[in-house]
């Protein structure tokens, strides 16, 4: 890591304020309400992208002073210190120090502090001063601080620090008035020129000095409330209770799954019906032939198969965003750390793995919160083993066809139990694989200890949650959508060409490249009890797991779920069905997940490791399942 | 860090937070990690603990223990709450 080189020439340059609007950078710790302030400043003008070469989210938007002057605001990744530890924090440091050639140095730093917890922010400001840019310290969430009886003399603090200090409540209407009073005039006049950066990474002696200075400032300018706020302590006494805590976590998770699956179903049905209708419409308008087939089977079915998962992903994220805003996620990490630690995972991996129940893609992206490289890679490698929603169509199809609708153990549905079992095996395999993942890493690459802020609880804000959901939906549709779309097109080509000869009797797919590949790999899959039809369906199933269902319907030339269930029940043995379920717990049948692993892990190596280990596990699991079933007479 | 005579004397009666139970309340005497297996090198651990607010003289209190094996622990340090594993909390001496 580059820590010295303070005298190195900046790679990027400051822009001429005459030609380009001023750029202000928001810098602050995670949880200080920085994103809320960014939302309040820029609203719907936000553009979310990536910094080049790294998968760190780049958020920029246009803000307007009450007088109407526009300036751009960049929301730099949250950091406690310029001593960067994660790729996100490195971006913040590098942008501020001009070490990113493609990124301009901001003209102004808006240092955001949680007014209820100033100490850390004051130390960060201390570091930021050595960057050489003009700084305004924003005491955010001032309403909560006042409500608790904290009194901050921000004018005196401003004098001690030698920089302007303003108060703000990003989430309230008019909450930025005090900020504009100071910042708007600054933007009208030319900003002070940047001084050369003198920042060097502080050592432990520097840190002690800086912490003591921050303590001194807090003592001098903040009057603590006579009666300390006890809401957080009281909630924690229940939520972190050794027995009640885990029970509450389980109940929350259970409620979340119920909600995700039941609430999302009507939306998914509607989307499904919409695309079916669209497909029928196109089929009516365009004469049958290659173009019609491409549009209906390739394009419309392809896009539909992606969008149908949007409701589940949004509901999952709704829960995650609410719990995160409330402050519960850090508590969940606290409760789960020991169990996850045994498996070699960090408590922070809990959130990414939870997201992976909806879809591994947002889960893998959420692994960015883990600052240690080894822990992050381990989480990325195991996230696809969590039972994502794309497995559900396959699971429900096979369960409906082969598991009788009987009640066992006093009223529990056997079908439900099998479903639960598939989820449980997924979770178990995550823990086991994470435990084994340590063998992939060099001895020198160590797992990081848990160091976690437990922030005060606060009410989630509807506007922030809505913006968060909107951004996640966009990211999902754009990233996953493009990859799945193109793979669907590729698979359409594979399963359409070459076309069946004149007078052919079987379904067209039987004459295609997909069938050739399927028949080619069929002997390899034979010991698993898979027939060539399954092998053919698994080829398009590489695009996304649920596509295999459509693949099976095409191969068996039946339409509708009911018909397919009936056909499968007649054609497969129980052993084959169970082996296919076992296969689907592990198989990496999702090109977009692999693409995201490649991007997030920063190299193709990890994608190949994931691909190979998951196929090996899938093969072994299906082999064992089928062979045992065959021994018991169900082959 | 160079321990002064005072902190040496105090350290004699101080105990590592990693061994303290829920309800412990005291004053932080020193942050002095020794080489540990896994995790960070001692210097980095010291810097991170300092950044979290673990500094000599701070009031520390163990608020919660993890449900499994009483690990990790939630520590109130001055007016923030931080979760650490006991392993790392061994570097913090308090009395």
- pLDDT tens readout for residues A274-291: 988 998 898 888 887 888
CA pair distance A110, A28, nearest whole angstrom = 8
Residue with the bigger pLDDT between A574 and A546: it is: A574
Residue with the bigger pLDDT between A468 and A620: it is: A620
CB-nearest partner of B55 from A208, A449, A451: A208
Any bridge partners for residue A534, and if so which? none
pLDDT for the residue A19: 58
| Contact between A12 and A100 (Cβ < 8 Å) | yes
Residue with the bigger pLDDT between A548 and A432: it is: A432
Architecture of domain A23-223: 3-Layer(aba) Sandwich (3.40)
pLDDT for the residue A48: 76
pLDDT tens-digit series, residues A493-527? 887 888 777 777 777 777 888 888 888 999 999 99
pLDDT for the residue A419: 84
CA pair distance A22, A18, nearest whole angstrom = 9
pLDDT at residue A410 tops 70: yes
Chain A, nearest residue to B77 by Cα: A453
Bond preceding residue A376 cis, omega within 30 of 0: no
Q: Which two tokens stand for residue A267?
A: 């939306």
CA angle A505, A508, A509 (to 5 degrees): 130
Does A240 contact B84 at a Cβ distance shorter than 8 Å? no
| Position A562 confidence tier, pLDDT thresholds 50, 70, 90 | low
Distance from CA of B1 to the nearest CA of A (A): 8
Any bridge partners for residue A452, and if so which? B83
| Position A92 confidence tier, pLDDT thresholds 50, 70, 90 | very high
pLDDT for the residue A559: 57
Residue with the bigger pLDDT between A596 and A432: it is: A432
| Position A1 confidence tier, pLDDT thresholds 50, 70, 90 | very low
- Element holding A611 (H helix, E strand): helix A604-631
| Contact between A77 and A50 (Cβ < 8 Å) | no
Dihedral through CA A452, CA B61, CA A123, CA A450, nearest 10?
-20
CA pair distance A434, A205, nearest whole angstrom = 37
b/e sequence A78-102, b meaning 16+ C-beta within 10 Å: bbbbbbbbbbbbbbbbbbbbbbbee
| Position B33 confidence tier, pLDDT thresholds 50, 70, 90 | confident
pLDDT for the residue A595: 84
| Position A131 confidence tier, pLDDT thresholds 50, 70, 90 | very high
Strands A70-75 and A108-114: unpaired
C-alpha dihedral sign at A199, A204, A208, A214: positive
Query: What integer is the mean pLDDT of A95-117?
Result: 91
ipTM of the complex: 0.88
* Mean pLDDT, chain A, whole residue set: 84
Does A215 contact B45 at a Cβ distance shorter than 8 Å? no
| Position A53 confidence tier, pLDDT thresholds 50, 70, 90 | low
Query: What integer is the mean pLDDT of A591-599?
Result: 85
pLDDT at residue B36 tops 60: no
Kindly state the DSSP code that residue A298 receives in the 8-state scheme. I
pLDDT for the residue A268: 83
pLDDT at residue A23 tops 90: yes
Q: Which of residues 229-258 of A touch B (CB under 8 A)?
A: 232-233, 236, 240, 242-243, 245-246
3 state DSSP class of A72: strand
CA pair distance A361, A216, nearest whole angstrom = 46
CA pair distance A559, A278, nearest whole angstrom = 17
pLDDT at residue B66 tops 90: yes
| Contact between A503 and A516 (Cβ < 8 Å) | no
CA pair distance A79, A56, nearest whole angstrom = 13
Residue with the bigger pLDDT between A135 and A117: it is: A135
CA distances from A459 to A141, A144, A321, A331, A463 (A): 12, 11, 12, 16, 12
Distance from CA of residue A47 to its chain's centroid? 18
- Element holding A225 (H helix, E strand): none
Kindly state the DSSP code that residue A384 receives in the 8-state scheme. G
Does B52 contact A347 at a Cβ distance shorter than 8 Å? no
CA distances from A574 to A355, A529, A567 (A): 32, 10, 13
Q: Helix A574-586 and helix A414-437: axis angle, to 10°?
A: 40
3 state DSSP class of B10: helix
Q: Which two tokens stand for residue A383?
A: 């996230």
pLDDT for the residue A601: 83
- Element holding A114 (H helix, E strand): strand A108-114
3 state DSSP class of A472: helix
| Contact between A166 and A136 (Cβ < 8 Å) | yes
Distance from CA of A518 to the nearest CA of B (A): 47
pLDDT for the residue A9: 46
pLDDT for the residue A240: 95
A407-416, A442-451, A591-600, B75-84: range with lowest mean pLDDT: A442-451
Ordered alpha helix ranges (H), A501-603: 513-525, 532-538, 547-555, 561-571, 574-586, 591-601
pLDDT for the residue A15: 47
CA pair distance B64, A387, nearest whole angstrom = 32
Contacts of B38 in chain A (CB under 8 A): 446-447, 449
pLDDT for the residue B24: 94
Give the whole-number percent of chain A exceeding pLDDT 90: 33
Residue with the bigger pLDDT between A565 and A44: it is: A565
Residue with the bigger pLDDT between A547 and A581: it is: A581
| Position A625 confidence tier, pLDDT thresholds 50, 70, 90 | very high
Distance from CA of B15 to the nearest CA of A (A): 20
pLDDT at residue A78 tops 60: yes
Q: Which two tokens stand for residue A62?
A: 């246009």
Residue with the bigger pLDDT between A578 and A21: it is: A578
pLDDT at residue A154 tops 50: yes
CA pair distance A132, B57, nearest whole angstrom = 32
pLDDT for the residue A407: 80
pLDDT for the residue B2: 46
**Unique residue bearing structure tokens 């032939």:** A289
pLDDT tens-digit series, residues A534-544? 988 888 788 77
**Radius of gyration of the CA atoms of chain A, in A:** 28
3 state DSSP class of A145: helix
CA pair distance B10, B32, nearest whole angstrom = 13
pLDDT tens-digit series, residues A166-177? 999 988 878 899
pLDDT at residue A14 tops 70: no
Query: What integer is the mean pLDDT of A378-407?
Result: 88
Ordered alpha helix ranges (H), A390-540: 391-402, 414-437, 462-475, 481-496, 513-525, 532-538
pLDDT for the residue A447: 64
Give the whole-number percent of chain A exceeding pLDDT 70: 92
Distance from CA of A178 to the nearest CA of B (A): 26
Residue with the bigger pLDDT between A404 and A243: it is: A243
**Unique residue bearing structure tokens 């004469």:** A287
The most distant pair of C-alpha atoms in chain A lies apart, rounded to whole Å, by 91
pLDDT for the residue A7: 42
Domain ranges in chain A are 23-223, 245-389+424-443+452-476, 477-632
| Contact between A467 and A579 (Cβ < 8 Å) | no
pLDDT at residue A132 tops 70: yes
| Contact between A553 and A547 (Cβ < 8 Å) | no
Q: Helix A547-555 and helix A391-402: axis angle, to 10°?
A: 50
| Contact between A22 and A113 (Cβ < 8 Å) | no
pLDDT for the residue A445: 60
pLDDT for the residue A381: 93
pLDDT at residue A319 tops 50: yes
pLDDT at residue A213 tops 50: yes
CA pair distance A459, A235, nearest whole angstrom = 13
Strands A108-114 and A23-28: parallel
pLDDT at residue B75 tops 80: yes
Q: Which of residues 327-346 of A touch B (CB under 8 A)?
A: 330, 333-335, 337-339, 341
Chain B, nearest residue to A233 by Cα: B63
3 state DSSP class of A89: helix
**Is A605 buried (19+), middle (13-18) or exposed (0-12) by CB count in 10 A?**
exposed
The span from the first CA to the last CA of chain B, in angstroms, equals: 19
pLDDT tens-digit series, residues A547-560? 788 778 777 766 55
Hey, of A229, A338, A350, A441, which one would you mutate to test binding to chain B, going by the most B CBs within 10 A of its CB? A338
A254-263, A400-409, B51-60: range with lowest mean pLDDT: A254-263
Predicted TM-score (pTM) of this structure: 0.80
CA pair distance A103, A15, nearest whole angstrom = 11
CA pair distance A375, A381, nearest whole angstrom = 10
Distance from CA of residue A145 to its chain's centroid? 31
pLDDT at residue A316 tops 80: no
CB-nearest partner of B82 from A203, A333, A454: A454
pLDDT at residue A152 tops 60: yes
Query: What integer is the mean pLDDT of A42-69?
Result: 81
CA pair distance A363, A383, nearest whole angstrom = 7
| Position B12 confidence tier, pLDDT thresholds 50, 70, 90 | low
């Amino acid at each position: 890591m580059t820590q010295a080189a303070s005298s190195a020439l900046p790679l990027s340059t400051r822009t001429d304020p005459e030609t380009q609007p001023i750029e202000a950078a928001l810098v602050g710790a995670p949880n200080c309400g920085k994103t809320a302030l960014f939302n309040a400043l820029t609203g719907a003008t936000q553009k979310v992208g990536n910094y080049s070469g790294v998968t760190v989210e780049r958020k920029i938007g246009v803000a307007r002073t009450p007088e109407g002057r526009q300036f751009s605001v960049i929301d730099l990744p949250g950091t406690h210190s310029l001593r960067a530890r994660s790729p996100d924090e490195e971006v913040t440091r590098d942008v501020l120090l001009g070490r990113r050639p493609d990124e301009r140095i901001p003209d102004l730093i808006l240092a955001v502090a949680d007014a209820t917890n100033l100490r850390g922010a004051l130390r960060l400001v201390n570091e930021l001063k050595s960057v050489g840019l003009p700084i305004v310290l924003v005491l955010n969430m001032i309403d909560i601080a006042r409500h608790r009886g904290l009194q901050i003399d921000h004018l005196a603090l401003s004098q001690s620090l030698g920089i302007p200090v303003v108060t703000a409540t990003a989430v309230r209407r008019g909450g930025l008035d005090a900020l504009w009073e100071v910042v708007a005039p600054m933007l009208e006049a030319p900003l002070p020129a940047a001084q050369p950066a003198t920042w060097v990474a502080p050592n432990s002696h520097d840190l002690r000095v800086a912490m003591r200075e921050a303590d001194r400032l807090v003592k001098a300018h903040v009057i603590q409330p006579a009666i300390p706020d006890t809401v957080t302590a009281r909630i924690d006494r229940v939520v972190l209770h050794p027995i009640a805590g885990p029970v509450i976590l389980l109940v929350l998770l259970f409620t979340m799954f119920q909600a995700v699956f039941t609430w999302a179903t009507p939306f998914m049905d509607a989307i499904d019906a919409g695309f079916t209708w669209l497909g029928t419409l196109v089929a009516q308008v365009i004469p049958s032939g290659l173009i019609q087939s491409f549009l209906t089977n390739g394009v419309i079915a392809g896009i539909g198969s992606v969008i149908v998962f949007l409701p589940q992903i949004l509901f999952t994220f709704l829960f995650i965003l609410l719990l995160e805003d409330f402050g519960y996620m850090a508590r969940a990490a606290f409760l789960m750390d020991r169990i996850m630690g045994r498996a070699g995972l960090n408590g922070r991996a809990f959130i990414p793995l939870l997201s992976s129940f909806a879809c591994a893609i947002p889960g893998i992206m959420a692994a960015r919160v883990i600052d240690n490289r080894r822990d992050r890679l381990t989480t990325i490698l195991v996230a696809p083993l969590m039972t994502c929603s794309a497995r559900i169509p396959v699971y429900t199809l096979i369960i409906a066809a082969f598991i009788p609708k009987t009640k066992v153990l006093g009223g529990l549905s056997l079908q439900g139990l099998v479903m639960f079992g598939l989820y449980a095996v997924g979770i178990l395999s995550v823990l086991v694989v994470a435990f084994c993942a340590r063998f992939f890493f060099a001895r020198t690459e160590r797992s990081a200890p848990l160091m976690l802020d437990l922030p005060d609880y606060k009410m989630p804000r509807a506007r922030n949650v809505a913006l968060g959901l909107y951004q996640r939906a966009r990211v999902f549709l754009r990233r996953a959508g493009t990859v799945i779309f193109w793979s669907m097109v590729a698979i359409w080509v594979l399963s359409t060409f070459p076309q069946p000869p004149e007078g052919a009797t079987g379904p067209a797919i039987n004459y295609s490249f997909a069938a050739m590949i399927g028949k080619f790999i069929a002997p390899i899959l034979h010991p698993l009890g898979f027939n060539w039809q399954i092998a053919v369906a698994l080829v398009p199933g590489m695009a996304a797991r649920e596509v295999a269902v459509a693949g099976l319907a095409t191969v068996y030339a039946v339409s509708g779920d009911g018909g397919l269930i009936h056909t499968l029940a007649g054609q497969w043995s129980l052993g084959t069905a169970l082996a296919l379920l076992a296969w689907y717990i592990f198989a990496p049948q999702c090109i977009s997940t692999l693409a995201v692993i490649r991007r997030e892990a920063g190299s193709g190596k990890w994608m190949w490791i994931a691909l190979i280990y998951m196929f090996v596990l899938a093969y072994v699991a299906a082999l064992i399942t089928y062979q045992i079933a065959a021994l018991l007479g169900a082959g | 860090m160079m321990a002064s005579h005072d902190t040496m004397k105090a350290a004699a009666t101080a105990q590592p937070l990693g061994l303290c139970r829920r309800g412990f309340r005291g004053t932080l005497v020193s942050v002095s990690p020794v080489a540990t297996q896994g995790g960070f090198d001692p210097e980095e651990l010291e810097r991170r603990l300092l950044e979290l607010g673990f500094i000599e003289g701070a009031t520390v209190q163990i608020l919660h223990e993890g449900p499994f094996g009483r690990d990790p622990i939630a520590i109130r340090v001055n007016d923030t709450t931080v979760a650490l594993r006991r392993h790392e909390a061994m570097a913090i001496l308090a009395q």
